């Protein structure tokens, strides 16, 4: 691999130019407009969908069509997300021969500007690919970091998308997420009865005590090798002289099948109910944050991604993973999807970095994917 070639320098510069543009979730306007301008200059048609308004954001998803795109044929989608978890406009990138990082005072935004720069670079340099190229589109989503909002709302049905390849996994190139856990989030409300804590405590029912008893009556953490659960937030109570009447707890359950998630959620529900022992009441609601997916080794997408990784000179390794991505959303829509390792390491942290060799080889994987 030639890390100092013109093409490599161009890719690094493209990444750096994108990384310093702000685009936190629901505020992706600047980065989206920049991407649109870049692509339009290169004769690549871009449409922005109406997702922004639906998710209270200021930007929609971008769907990009290379010049050879044929609407009458099925297409594959190459995907990344536009948003970052925290601002990057003050990013001061440190570039060495081996890696790119921030100066330690901001995130780098390699999650997911690395994926974005790879796919933009592929689209803008299609003429350098000498062999025939598949019919493909690129999809750049908004609001991914909040729970795949953009991917959940994007409508890919007009484009007959057969497979979606997401370039958003922090693992090093070679690895891809073949099976991914889903995540259910729940909110439980414990209702007691308020009373003056000093004058008439016997007339009150302490909702903090109810909730703590409930939480300690159920096992959380690692439940089995593919199931985890957590209580992540507890809110309630007020003044020290009032017996609190309401406590709200928020938590999650993750596993690799919907059945296992529901089974663990039922254990939590029943455990909470029993812990009350007739004192106070509680209610609980739940929703799927993202759905699990498990891909068979014989599916076309698994074979194709492994072939592409091999073509880039790496050993493919499909892993099971418990962190969600847009791939979960596409699979839930019925479009087979994998999340591909691009080595955007330590995502969301100020220590975030990418290795230049990973940036370059991830682009090789993308090119191999679109070659016939």
**Residue found under tokens 């359950």:** 253
Asked whether the CA dihedral 82, 27, 105, 95 is positive or negative, the reply is: positive
Which of these ranges, 162-170, 231-239, 281-289, 295-303, lies near Zn ion under the rule CB under 5 A?
A: 162-170
> Which tokens go with 163?
């497979």
Enumerate residues 111-130 that contact Zn ion by CB under 5 A: 111-112
Task: Tell me how far apart the alpha carbons of residues 340 and 325 are, in angstroms, rounded to a whole number.
Answer: 10
d(CA 189, CA 72): 52
Binding of Zn ion by 364 (CB under 5 A): no
Min dist CB 140 to Zn ion, Å, is: 12
Contacts of 210 (CB under 8 A, 6+ apart): 190, 192, 247, 275, 276, 279, 280, 282
Q: Looking at beta carbons only, is 111 or 252 nearer to Zn ion?
A: 111
Nearest approach in angstroms of CB 83 to Zn ion is: 8
> Residue 55: which of 84, 28, 80, 89 has the closest Cα?
28
C-alpha span between 112 and 301 (Å, rounded): 22
* Cα 245 → chain centroid: 37
Torsion of CA 301, 258, 169, 125, to 10 degrees: 40
Q: How far is the CB of 253 from Zn ion (least distance, A)?
A: 22
Q: Which two tokens stand for residue 186?
A: 């729940």
Among 49, 114, 144, 168, the active-site one is 144
Residue with Cβ nearer Zn ion (111 or 352): 111
Specify burial of residue 328 (Cβ count, 10 A radius: 0-12, 13-18, 19+).
buried
Task: Find the binder of Zn ion among 163, 168, 306, 326 (CB under 5 A).
Answer: 168
Query: What minimum distance in Å lies between the beta carbon of 84 and Zn ion?
Result: 8
- Residues contacting Zn ion: total by CB under 5 A: 3
Strand partners, 182: 255
User: Which CB sits closer to Zn ion, 19 or 210?
Assistant: 19
> Which range, of 12-20, 63-71, 105-113, 210-218, touches Zn ion by CB under 5 A?
105-113
Joined tokens for residue 328: 């979960």
Please confirm, yes or no, whether 246 is among the known catalytic residues. no
Judged by CB under 5 A, the stretch of 104-112, 159-167, 228-236, 250-258 that binds Zn ion is 104-112
Q: Which is nearer to Zn ion, 168 or 246 (CB)?
A: 168
Question: From the CB of 165, what's the least distance to Zn ion, in Å?
Answer: 14
What is the smallest separation between the CB atom of 369 and Zn ion, expressed in angstroms? 19
Q: Is 363 helix (H, G, I), strand (E, B) or coil?
A: helix
- Tokens representing 184 are 């259910």
- Cβ proximity to Zn ion, 111 vs 306, nearer residue: 111
Q: Which is nearer to Zn ion, 26 or 249 (CB)?
A: 26
- Given the rule CB under 5 A, which of 61-69, 157-165, 167-175, 185-193 is the region that contacts Zn ion? 167-175
Stretch that binds Zn ion, among 165-173, 192-200, 260-268, 331-339 (CB under 5 A): 165-173
Quick count: other Cβ atoms within 10 Å of Cβ 348? Answer: 14
Out of 28, 49, 83, 306, pick the active-site residue.
83
Is 22 an active-site residue? no
By the criterion CB under 5 A, which residues form the site for Zn ion?
111-112, 168
Active site residue ranges:
83, 144
């Amino acid at each position: 691999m030639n890390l100092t070639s013109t093409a490599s320098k161009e890719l690094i510069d493209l990444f750096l130019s994108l990384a310093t543009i702000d685009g936190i979730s629901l505020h992706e306007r600047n980065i989206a407009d920049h991407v649109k301008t870049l692509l339009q200059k290169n004769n690549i048609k871009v449409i922005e969908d109406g997702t922004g308004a639906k998710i209270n954001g200021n930007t929609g998803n971008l769907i990009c069509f290379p010049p050879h795109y044929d609407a009458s044929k099925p297409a594959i989608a190459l995907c990344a997300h536009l948003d970052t978890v925290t601002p990057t406009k003050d990013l001061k990138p440190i570039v060495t021969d081996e890696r790119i990082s921030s100066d330690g005072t901001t995130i780098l935004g390699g999650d997911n500007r690395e994926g974005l720069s790879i796919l933009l670079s592929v689209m803008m340099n299609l003429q350098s690919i000498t062999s025939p190229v598949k019919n493909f589109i690129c999809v750049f989503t908004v609001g991914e970091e909040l729970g795949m909002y953009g991917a959940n709302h994007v409508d890919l049905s007009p484009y007959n998308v057969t497979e979606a390849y997401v370039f958003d996994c922090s693992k090093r190139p070679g690895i891809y997420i073949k099976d991914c856990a889903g995540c259910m989030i729940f909110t439980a409300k414990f209702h007691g009865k308020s009373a003056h804590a000093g004058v008439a405590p016997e007339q009150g029912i302490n909702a903090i005590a109810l909730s703590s008893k409930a939480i300690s009556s159920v096992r959380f953490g690692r439940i089995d090798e593919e199931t985890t659960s957590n209580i992540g937030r507890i809110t309630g109570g007020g003044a020290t002289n009032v017996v609190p009447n309401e406590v709200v707890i928020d938590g999650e359950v993750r596993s690799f099948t919907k059945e296992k998630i529901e089974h663990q959620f039922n254990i939590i529900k029943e455990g909470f109910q029993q812990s009350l022992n007739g004192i106070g009441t509680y209610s609980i609601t739940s929703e799927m944050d993202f759905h699990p997916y498990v891909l068979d080794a014989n599916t076309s997408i698994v074979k194709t991604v492994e072939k592409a990784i091999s073509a880039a000179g790496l050993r493919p390794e499909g892993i099971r993973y418990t962190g969600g991505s847009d791939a979960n959303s596409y699979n839930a829509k019925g479009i087979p999807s994998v999340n591909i390792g691009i080595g955007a390491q330590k995502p969301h942290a100020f220590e975030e970095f990418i290795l230049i060799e990973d940036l370059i080889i991830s682009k090789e994987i993308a090119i191999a994917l679109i070659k016939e």
